[in-house]
């Protein structure tokens, strides 16, 4: 199996084996997916989120809004963030059976010069032979 199959989060073509990856492979795959998540957030890439979020995902934004997948995807188009930069630091991944939890800080700067740091926790679950986000919680840190 090509190494990219392990990290893409996609179903392995032609494979009937949907066994959950062992913890070391799970954390490696979700670490790559987490970086893709940050890139998708920076570019308002609704297509990426549509492919990688479970249909019943719950997203809680820094302002307290709770959204399901359709609302979140709509927000990316209707209220796009204009990032000058968005990075990630202090990433911790923990495996709990068929789930991997990611918590990290994401320093950002918008194109208008505003800066901040968001702390987030995303939970990924092994569903339908791939890793999918089932919940995301974003907290804005005080200046």
Give the chain's mean pLDDT. Answer: 90
CA atoms within 13 A on the CB side of 131: 30
The answer to whether 40 touches 49, Cβ cutoff 8 Å, is: yes
The domain ranges of the chain are 3-140
What is the reported pTM? 0.86
33 has pLDDT over 60: yes
Name the percent of the chain lying above pLDDT 70: 89
DSSP β-bridge partners for residue 92:
103
**Residue 84 contacts by C-beta under 8 Å, 6 or more apart in sequence?**
109, 110, 111, 113
Q: How many CB atoms lie within 10 A of CB 40?
A: 19
Q: Is the dihedral of CA 103, 105, 110, 116 positive or negative?
A: positive
How deeply is 49 buried, as exposed, middle or buried, from its count of CB atoms within 10 A (0-12, 13-18, 19+)? Answer: buried
Residue 1's pLDDT band (cuts 50, 70, 90):
very low
The answer to whether 37 touches 51, Cβ cutoff 8 Å, is: no
108 has pLDDT over 60: yes
Classify 3-140 by CATH class. Answer: alpha beta
């Amino acid at each position: 199996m090509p190494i990219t199959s392990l990290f893409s989060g996609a179903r392995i073509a032609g494979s009937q084996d949907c066994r959950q990856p062992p913890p070391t492979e799970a954390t490696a795959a979700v670490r790559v997916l987490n970086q893709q998540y940050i890139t998708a957030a920076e570019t308002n890439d609704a297509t990426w989120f549509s492919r990688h979020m479970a249909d019943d995902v719950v997203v809680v934004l820094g302002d307290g809004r709770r959204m399901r997948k359709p609302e979140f995807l709509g927000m990316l188009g209707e209220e796009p963030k204009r990032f000058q930069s968005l990075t990630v630091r202090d990433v911790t991944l923990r495996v709990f059976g068929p789930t991997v939890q990611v918590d990290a800080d994401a320093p950002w700067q918008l194109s208008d010069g505003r800066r901040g740091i968001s702390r987030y926790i995303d939970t990924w679950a092994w569903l339908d032979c791939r890793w999918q986000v089932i919940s995301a919680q974003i907290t804005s840190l005080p200046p």
